[in-house]
A and B are shown apart, each in its own frame.
Chain A
């Protein structure tokens, strides 16, 4: 079964610092990759996604991620974080045809709690 690893469980940064959150997955087939963000007390919202083409994808709020197939990685980056970026970030992988009977199963990492200090 596929798995998703997020190695940084808690990250604390000062405003304007650069951010990189790691995400590795364990599946050799065709995958779609996602980053979701969960602000305190809210539901998960899609930040960005990768299906094919340019491995550098840009999402909302200045976030971007790079898909490196050889490393099975999909790291999230932001050049300059803001206090409002304080949230939990989840990497997710969708293995095509990964569910019996259809549907698409997203496998989530355990999340990274980001705290941005003023």
Chain B
């Protein structure tokens, strides 16, 4: 089925390790997003890419970097993981404001 694919689904990191979360969509959407979900806090926007070649900070960008590799792919990198980055990470894409988002299945990250 068409949609948003995220890898990996689960990851455990030690403090200070780095990793990249991968996201790809096959719906030809222009915009892509990274959110983190924490209990009682809903979803918070980390970074977004309104179109290929552009990226911008969201509400909680500290400790993260992103790359919009092409129109399909938008990766999120943690350079030096911290326990505060333990969370569930969702990638999403959208075509226009009328259609909301299509979400990936999420990455559950634990930093110990």
Interface residues in chain B, defined as those with a beta carbon under 8 Å from any beta carbon in chain A? 30-31, 33, 35, 40-45, 48-51, 54, 56, 58, 90, 94, 96-101, 103-106
Q: Are A103 and B42 within 8 A (Cβ)? A: no
The distance in angstroms between the C-alpha atoms of A103 and B32, with both chains bound, is: 8
Distance from B37 Cβ to chain A, minimum over Cβ atoms (Å): 9
Find chain B residues with CB under 8 A from A111 CB.
40, 42
The distance in angstroms between the C-alpha atoms of A4 and B30, with both chains bound, is: 25
Chain A interface residue count, CB cutoff 8 Å, equals: 28
The distance in angstroms between the C-alpha atoms of A101 and B54, with both chains bound, is: 8
Q: Are B56 and A32 within 8 A (Cβ)? A: no
Interface residues in chain A, defined as those with a beta carbon under 8 Å from any beta carbon in chain B? 4, 9, 32, 34, 36, 42-46, 49, 51, 90, 92, 94, 96, 99-106, 108-111
* Nearest residue, chain A, Cβ from B97: A104
Total inter-chain residue pairs, C-beta < 8 Å: 69
Q: Which of B44, B96, B100 has the most CB of A within 10 A?
A: B100
Q: List 16 A-B contacts (CB under 8 A).
A: A32-B100, A36-B100, A43-B103, A94-B97, A94-B100, A96-B97, A99-B48, A99-B56, A100-B56, A101-B56, A103-B31, A103-B48, A103-B51, A103-B56, A104-B97, A111-B40
Q: Are A104 and B104 within 8 A (Cβ)? A: no
Find chain B residues with CB under 8 A from A106 CB.
100-101
Distance from B34 Cβ to chain A, minimum over Cβ atoms (Å): 12
* Nearest residue, chain A, Cβ from B40: A110
Find chain B residues with CB under 8 A from A109 CB.
42
Q: Known contacts being A43-B103, A99-B56, A101-B54, is A90 close to B42, with CB within 8 Å? A: yes
Q: Are B98 and A32 within 8 A (Cβ)? A: yes
Q: Are A108 and B31 within 8 A (Cβ)? A: no
Q: Are B48 and A105 within 8 A (Cβ)? A: yes
Find chain A residues with CB under 8 A from B99 CB.
49
Q: Contact check: which of B40, B50, B98, B104 meets A103 at CB < 8 Å?
A: B50
The distance in angstroms between the C-alpha atoms of A45 and B30, with both chains bound, is: 20
Find chain B residues with CB under 8 A from A92 CB.
100
Q: Are B56 and A90 within 8 A (Cβ)? A: no
